[in-house]
C-alpha cells in the first residue's frame, strides 16, 4: 500500500469509497462520525476482545468469501463481541441470530461462538448472492447488510415501494430514505410483510460501515489483500480507500 493511500485512510475518514470489481464506477458512502466515547471503546475492544474471535472471523471470511473485517464489524454492532449477548427481542450470541434464522442455517446453539460466526458469515454471503449480480459489489453488500438486519422479505417490500416512488433502492442514498417508511402506517398498503423498524436498519448499516472503516484502519494489510477465497470470489470489498469530501 502506498504511503499516500495509508495517510488518506488514517486522516480522512469522512467518506467510504468502495472500488468496483472490473473497473466499474465507485460508490461513495458518507460515514457517521463516532463520538469520542465510542472511538475509545472500540479501540479498547479491538485490543482486548477481538483477539479472542479474530481467527474465526478470518477462517469463515476465507471460507465464504466475505471480508473478515466486515464480519467482525457486524458482530461488533450486534453484540460488541460479547458471546453472551441477548437482545430485548430474544436474539442471541455474537452475531445475534434469530431462532428462525439459526434453524434455517442449521445452527444448533446460537451461543456457541464458532457456530454463530459461521452462521452469520454464511448468511451475509447468502444475502449478497441474492442481490442482483449486475450491481457493483459494494451495493450488493449494502443490500446484504440491510437484509441481515431487517430481513429479506421486508427489504423486498422496500424495493416495491421504491418502484412506486420511482426511486432506486439499490443505491444507499435512496435506500436510507426509504427504509424509515417501513414503520409508517400510511405506507402499509405497499407492504406484503407488514411494518418494521426501518430506521433501525439505517442505523445498523451506517454503524457497521463505521466499524468496518475503523477495523480496516487498524489492520491496513486488509486493504491490499487481493483474494480472500477462491477464484470465484472476486474482489468483493477488498480494495477500498478513505477520502475526504
Question: Which run of H or of E encompasses 95?
Answer: none
Q: What share of the chain is helix, strand, coil (3-state, %, to 5)?
A: 60, 5, 35
118/57 Cα distance (integer angstroms): 8
Which residue among the candidates 78, 84, 129, 206 is catalytic per the annotation?
78
Residue whose grid cell is 477465497: 229
Q: Collapse the DSSP code of 243 into the 3-class scheme (helix H, G, I; strand E, B; otherwise coil) and give the result.
A: strand
The C-alpha cell that represents 34 in the structure block: 463516532
Instruction: Check if 78 is active-site.
Output: yes
Handedness of CA 162, 166, 169, 172 (dihedral sign): negative
Which residues are known to be catalytic? 78
Amino acid at each position: 500500500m502506498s504511503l499516500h493511500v495509508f495517510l488518506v485512510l488514517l486522516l480522512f475518514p469522512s467518506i467510504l469509497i468502495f472500488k468496483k470489481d472490473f473497473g466499474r464506477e465507485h460508490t461513495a458512502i458518507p460515514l457517521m462520525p463516532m463520538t469520542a466515547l465510542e472511538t475509545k471503546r472500540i479501540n479498547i475492544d479491538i485490543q482486548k476482545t477481538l483477539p479472542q474471535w479474530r481467527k474465526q472471523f478470518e477462517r469463515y471470511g476465507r471460507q465464504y468469501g466475505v471480508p473478515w473485517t466486515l464480519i467482525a464489524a457486524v458482530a461488533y454492532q450486534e453484540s460488541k463481541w460479547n458471546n453472551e449477548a441477548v437482545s430485548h427481542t430474544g436474539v442471541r450470541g455474537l452475531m445475534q441470530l434469530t431462532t428462525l434464522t439459526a434453524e434455517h442455517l442449521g445452527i444448533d446453539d446460537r451461543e456457541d461462538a464458532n457456530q454463530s460466526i459461521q452462521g452469520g458469515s454464511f448468511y451475509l454471503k447468502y444475502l449478497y448472492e441474492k442481490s442482483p449480480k449486475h450491481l457493483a459489489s459494494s451495493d450488493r453488500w449494502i443490500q446484504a447488510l440491510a437484509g441481515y438486519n431487517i430481513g429479506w422479505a421486508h427489504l423486498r417490500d422496500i424495493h416495491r415501494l421504491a418502484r412506486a416512488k420511482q426511486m432506486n433502492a439499490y443505491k444507499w442514498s435512496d435506500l436510507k430514505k426509504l427504509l424509515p417508511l417501513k414503520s409508517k402506517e400510511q405506507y402499509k398498503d405497499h407492504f406484503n410483510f407488514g411494518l418494521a423498524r426501518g430506521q433501525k436498519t439505517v442505523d445498523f448499516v451506517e454503524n457497521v460501515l463505521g466499524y468496518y472503516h475503523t477495523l480496516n484502519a487498524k489492520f491496513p494489510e486488509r486493504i491490499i489483500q487481493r483474494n480472500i477465497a477462491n477464484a470465484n470470489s472476486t474482489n468483493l470489498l477488498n480494495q477500498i480507500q478513505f477520502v475526504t469530501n
